Amino acid sequence: MVKCLAIADLFIDKQMMDDGLALLKEKGIEVVVKEWKHDDLEALQKDNITLEKQGSEAVDLPDYLIEGIEEYEYVITQFAPVGKKVIDRAKKLKFVGVLRAGIENVNRQYAEEKGITVFNTPGRSETSVSEYAVGLMLSEIRNIARADRKLRNGEWEKNYPNGVLAPELKESVVGLVGYGAIGQKVANLVRPFGGRIIFFDDYFTGETKDTQVSLEELVTQADIISMHYRLTPETKNMLNKTHFKKMKASAVVINSARSGLINEADLIEALQTKEITGAAVDVFEQEPLPADHPYLSLENVTITPHIAGSTIGNFANSPKILANRIINEYL
């Protein structure tokens, strides 16, 4: 019988994994679920951030998860690393499935050299992250979060960094940097508001109602710039001080994707000098955010603790989506 090791964690727990992979069991695959244990979500997130930034060899998989791994043809993981040590011991391994879009926690090159197929779960975050991105847009341009904070502090304030009269999505040019599944979903959510949508994406070749432009054109035309690109060595710091200098003074930048897509120091400088009006950020170079981080002293930025993808649907549905992909493409 074909055996599959599924590694659960604090976000996708054992029950979610068992329920989601029931389709594989129906196909005659024996699924064994083990848990990558952490004291709390922050400890798990710390390992995850390390893996995203430094790759699959930066964190060792504990021995209790590797024990008996030579018996398995499939390994399914969300955040747990699958590096050279695991691959070398897993003599029967044919497939590694990652329960998210990014596969930074798997040594893909080494796996494929060994004849192991590595695949992800595309589209799992498109609803959670796209909804959140639109929420950040509205919160930032309409001053929702900072107005709440002021009022709780006893201040009846109506004048904010973007003025007394806030802009509307209806009258805004929304520039999407990245037009994959999430970028397109954001466009679909924003379009009914009435704003004009432009986008930059080197890889998009299909048909769309929206307008494809260069990155240079996007940063000069857009009122709201929202990041939805994949982080690679080529896209790191793809938005930096040269782009902030070309933006409208009234522009707002949204990042619910990856912190490395934007040069954080350059964005902070642009906010401090009022080169742009504001930003809303869910991802940071250092997480948790240090107590002395410059964002904490700025009035023109909305910050949230990396929760754009934290929905029940995102995590609970991931094993089901991946199980269907395995059945449709590999069985």
Instruction: Tell me which residue of 11, 13, 60 sits closest to 34, measured CA to CA.
Output: 13
Catalytic position from the list 217, 287, 293, 325: 287
pLDDT digits (tens, 9 = 90+) for 105-148: 999 999 999 999 999 998 888 999 999 999 999 999 999 999 99
- Phi, psi of 98, rounded to the nearest 5 degrees: -110, 130
Half-sphere exposure of 180 (CA within 13 A, CB side): 17
Tell me which residues of the chain have a pLDDT lower than 70: none
pLDDT of residue 330: 80
**Could you give the CA distance from residue 74 to residue 6 in angstroms, rounded to a whole number?**
8
Question: How far from chain centre, in Å, is Cα 53?
Answer: 13
pTM: 0.86
191 is catalytic: no
pLDDT of residue 42: 87
Tokens, residue 81:
């690393």
DSSP state of 269: H
258 is catalytic: yes
**Could you give the CA distance from residue 105 to residue 77 in angstroms, rounded to a whole number?**
9
42 is catalytic: no
pLDDT digits (tens, 9 = 90+) for 7-58: 999 999 999 999 999 999 999 999 999 999 999 988 998 899 899 889 999 9
DSSP state of 288: S
Residues 6+ apart with CB under 8 A from 198: 173, 174, 175, 176, 210, 211, 212, 213, 217, 218, 221, 222
Which of helix, strand or coil describes residue 280? strand
pLDDT of residue 118: 96
Tokens, residue 175:
């520039």
